Amino acid sequence: MSEPDDGAGRSDALVLFGASGDLAHKQIFPALYAMTKRGVLNVPVIGVACSNWNLEHLHARVRDSVAQAPRGTRPWVG
C-alpha cells in the first residue's frame, strides 16, 4: 500500500515559452510578480526563448516589465 504524498516529492514547474517576447513583458512578468508578492507562486518558473540574451539582459527586461505595468495589473501597489 502506498503512503500519502506529502508534497516532498513534487516536481511541478511553470514553463514559460517565449520569455523574451512582448506578451511576457506586458502581461506575464507583472502577473508572476504579483503572484509572488501574494505568496501564491509555489513552483519554479522556467523561461524558454530563442533570443540570444544572457541572464543579465533577461533580468533587466523583467525589472522593466514590472516597473512599466499599469496600476490595474499591480494589485500590490496601494
Task: Report pLDDT digits (tens) over 31-62.
Answer: 999 999 899 999 999 999 999 999 999 999 99
Q: Domain map of the chain by residue range?
A: 16-69
pLDDT at position 78, please?
41
* Whether residue 28 has pLDDT greater than 80: yes
With cut-offs at 50, 70 and 90, classify the pLDDT of residue 77. very low
Q: Residue 8, by phi and psi: left (phi above 0), alpha (psi -120 to 50) or beta?
A: alpha
- Burial of residue 78 (number of CB atoms within 10 Å: 0-12, 13-18, 19+): exposed
11 pLDDT higher than 50: yes
pTM: 0.74
